[in-house]
Structure 1
């Protein structure tokens, strides 16, 4: 799979990151309680595909229920550019709408039934492995 370097930011620019992923994004549209409220559409990457470039000191975290998901957001503007998803606590969920323009070729949106999270995770064929480390794509 070809990878490109995407860069992104929160609204105010205090939080800046880069992520290596395909230019063709597979984005999840989850209907769990928090994703519905935030309209949290995201794609999942391994930790080694993500680098926080600036703004660690501007991030704050919200957790609830199982506390496995870490909903990080900029404490200045309130935008969640990325977070640690419950489905992949060893990776990141990236908000495609926070990416800078120019590197995304296409976006495919897949519905995910977060209201029945456990059942959906059990039945999904690929989501559990999406945060597994990939070969170094930083060239």
Structure 2
């Protein structure tokens, strides 16, 4: 296994960063010390995200960004997302992210486009009902969702991106979701990640 390089991070208390190649495989670098039990969850079958036609050109908003495509395992859900070559990926240790091994990078809603599969999506919510954990109801894969931290954007799973000519460079940041409110109050940049 190649040596992992340290990356400079703008993260705050309770977060560590490591730079890893995107194709090195997803490995657990640190196990969470605790996991808060979640409240009874709820599955919603009506999905608010609508399929839209793919964009063919780069708008001024997408300058200096790369168009990635991706989707779920069975192919029923497909999307495109505009993001930089360097992806800042969060590895949260809250109850649901631990169970799902949910690693994601955040983009503004206008940089994410569902290409197909709105009818194949279902959404799970729990506790505050702020986060919308969207997944394919055929294969069960969550390739994107609406995070509680950024309800105006999307959290996209980098491991659900298609292989392409432009491979992203991933910086992984641990986020202490077990102490969500205090971690959010201390984090200086996460809320801005869904803004243009």
- Displacement of 1:63 after TM fit? 0.1
The structure whose Rg is larger is: 2
Give structure 1 regions of 4+ aligned residues with deviation exceeding 3 angstroms.
none
Could you tell me which runs of 5 or more consecutive residues in structure 1 were left unpaired when the two chains were aligned.
Answer: 135-139
Matched, 1:55 2:55: no
Q: Structure 2: where are the runs of 5+ without partners?
A: 1-62
**Counterpart selection for 1:46 from 81, 91, 108:** 108
Retained in 2: the 8 A contact 1:24–1:104? no
Q: Is 1:124 matched with 2:187?
A: yes
More strand by share: 1
The Cα shift of 1:2 comes to: 2.4
Tell me what 2:73 maps to.
11
Q: Residue 73 of structure 1 aligns with which residue?
A: 135
CA RMSD of aligned residues (A): 0.9
CA distance in 1, matches of 2:170, 2:134: 23
For residues 61-119 of structure 1, what are the alpha-carbon distances to aligned partners after superposition, in whole Å with 9 as ceiling and x for unaligned? 00001000000000000000000000000100000000001233310100000000000
Spell out the pairing of 1:75-94 with structure 2 (5 A cutoff).
Answer: 75-94=137-156
C-alpha displacement of 1:24: 1.0
Paired position in structure 2 for 1:106: 169
Q: 2:89 maps to which residue?
A: 27
- Equivalence for 2:158: 96
Following TM superposition, by how much is the alpha carbon of 1:23 offset from its aligned partner in structure 2, in angstroms?
Answer: 1.2
Residue 63 of structure 1 aligns to a residue whose secondary structure is strand
With the length of structure 1 as denominator, give the TM-score of the two structures. Answer: 0.93
